[in-house]
Structure 1
Amino acid sequence: MTLDAMLVVAGAGTGVLVGMTGVGGGSVMTPLLLLVFGFAPASAIGTDLWFASFTKLAATRVHHARGLIDWQVVRRLWCGSLPASAITLAWMAYVPIGRETETLLKASVAIAVLVTAASMLFQKQLHALGRGFRLHDSVHFKAMQAPLTVAAGALLGALVTLTSIGAGALGVVFLAYLYPLRLTPSRLVATDIVHAIPLAMFAGSGHLLMGNVDYALLANLLVGSIPGVLVGAWLSAKLPYAMLRTALACVLVFTGVKVLGSI
């Protein structure tokens, strides 16, 4: 394998973002692979799913050691995301990869990036809305928590499988609304990262069987991302979380528009 310095640096930077915020595995890396490195959409998505899996797996040990993972919430998300991923993979297996399909995948990536950016910008308002509902109508709120978490997982499962984007930012936003008192920012990030690992591996396995994974690309990205995500996880409790997410959201808006313009 030949190391590509640009790919290693891209992996390292994305790894730091994932460790700090839980965001970046798909919403940053997939557009980079499309816009900067010129990879085909299917290859970028399939490879990125495995990149995100291994990168987030490296961060899990740090978060688990701090006792930040809410396993009950993770299991609820899996109940929705894994079956939805299987259904999406089945659909993709029967849709031939042609020019029209590549355009659809690119458009899906762009829309997913823009939705991710919007969700990050309005996370505080959604958290406040969930907190108000939780405090003023706790009986109904608690009754709906579990089924809504499964539904959120299903939406994430389909979106991540199709675009490799959404498990980070959208997952955190859903959890901020559904568990406004139970999950602190650090617990949000840790819980969301752990949910994303089996989902990305499951979806990535389907893409692997369809021939959408570039092993040399994956290896180059992981050389940078594994140390990067460990640094990011260590920094996650030390840096201004809200400011980081706002800055990242602005970058994603620009990125999403660029991807749309490239179609």
Structure 2
Amino acid sequence: MDGMLILAGALTGLLVGLSGVGGGALMTPLLLLFFGVAPMSAVGTDLWFAAITKIFATRVHNKHGLIDWQVVKRLWIGSLSASTLTILWMKVHPIDDSSVEFLKMTIALAVLITAAGMFFQKPLHALGRKLRTTDGEHFKKFQAPLTIMAGALLGFLVSLTSVGAGALGAVFLAYLYPLRLTPSRLIATDIVHAIPLAIFAGIGHLLIGNVNFGLLGTLLIGSIPAVIIGAMLSSRLSNVVLRVILSFVLLAIGIKLYLSISG
């Protein structure tokens, strides 16, 4: 089982490094479906897994000057505020046995929304590009507030389910910054935003008691070397095909998770 967990960590780490996606959208469902981890423990452990894994990817991206710090700060304003409020709400209304099914369903829906967002990332990017070039002044006027709102939505979803920071974050950025962020800059900026968000939410789950440190350590053995390799390759490889494949994988996992609950 440890070998399979290390392999799962390595695969997820490689995908995170290449595309910025997979820290939550892939790992949390894998822990639920194939390793039988309790939902709250899966969410809490995965938040720290994603944060630590992405820190190693960030070191590589930062060396290449790919991070847009202004965009990251705008996302943080929304996401960290929403994360704090969500964790406080979970503290007041803890997830107990009666609401475990609700949490599983929320994770399944978050994965399906993420898959759908990845499917539509290209047309959304094209729409954003059209609006940016034909009505640039009006588009730029709403860029900052919409980025903050996108961050707030990510903060809520990630804190509750650990899903969305990478994939949905990339979809939002592709629409909001169609000219400013090249694919490699988008991946790097998306990853950097996700780290404090995952740590913020992870601290909340740690205080609630939802982090399995043994499981976390095993996953990191595989993910840390793999994410470094993925980050080094991300600026050299086109990630269009990878994102399409990931979309189908996440769609299948989301449906399977949904059916496992409803069945």
TM-score (norm 2): 0.98
Residue of structure 2 aligned with 1:185, choices 156, 170, 183: 183
Are 1:47 and 2:45 counterparts? yes
Q: Which moved more, 1:51-60 or 1:92-101?
A: 92-101
Counterpart for residue 61 of structure 1: 59
Tell me which amino acid in the other structure corresponds to 2:188. Answer: A
CA deviation after TM superposition for structure 1 residue 238, in Å:
2.6
Q: Partners of 1:100 and 1:135 in 2: how far apart?
A: 51
Q: 2:134 maps to which residue? A: 136
2: CA distance between counterparts of 1:25 and 1:171? 12
Identity %: 65
Partner Cα separation in structure 1 for residue 95 and residue 174 of structure 2: 36
CA RMSD for the aligned pairs?
Answer: 0.9
Amino acid at match of 1:163: T
Query: Which residue identity does 2:4 align to in structure 1?
Result: M
In 2, Cα distance between the equivalents of 1:128 and 1:183? 13
Instruction: Please show how residues 1-263 of structure 1 align to structure 2 within 5 Å.
Output: 4-263=2-261
Deviation at 1:175, TM superposition (A): 0.4
Shift of 1:246: 0.1
* Cα drift, residue 142 of structure 1: 0.7
Query: Counterparts of 1:83 and 1:101 in 2: how far apart (Å)?
Result: 25
The letter of the residue matching 1:71 is W
Distance between the aligned counterparts of 1:27 and 1:114, measured in 2? 9
Once residues 105 and 232 of structure 1 are traced to their aligned partners in structure 2, the CA distance between those partners, rounded to angstroms, is 31
Q: Which runs of 5+ in 2 are unaligned?
A: none
Report the alpha carbon displacement of residue 104 of structure 1 after superposing the two structures with TM: 1.1
Structure 1 distance, partners of 2:194, 2:186, is: 12
Tell me which amino acid in the other structure corresponds to 1:11.
G
The alignment covers a number of residue pairs equal to 261
Deviations, residues 22-44 of structure 1 (Å, cap 9, x unaligned)? 00000000000000000010000
Partner Cα separation in structure 2 for residue 216 and residue 10 of structure 1: 15
Give the Cα separation in 1 of the matches to 2:259 and 2:209: 27
Deviant stretches of 4+, over 3 Å: none
Question: In the TM superposition, what whole-angstrom CA distance separates every residue of 1:153-195 from its partner, at most 9, and x where no partner exists?
Answer: 0000000000000000100000000000000000000000000
For residues 118 and 4 of structure 1, what CA distance do their matches in structure 2 show? 32
Task: Tell me the distance in 2 between the aligned counterparts of 1:53 and 1:74.
Answer: 15
Amino acid at match of 2:124: L
Question: How many Å apart are 1:4 and its aligned residue?
Answer: 1.2
TM-score normalized with structure 1 length? 0.98
Give 1:64 shift: 0.3
1:128-169 C-alpha deviation (Å, 9 max, x unpaired): 000111011111111100000000000000000000000001
Q: 2-side partners of 1:29 and 1:166: how far apart?
A: 12
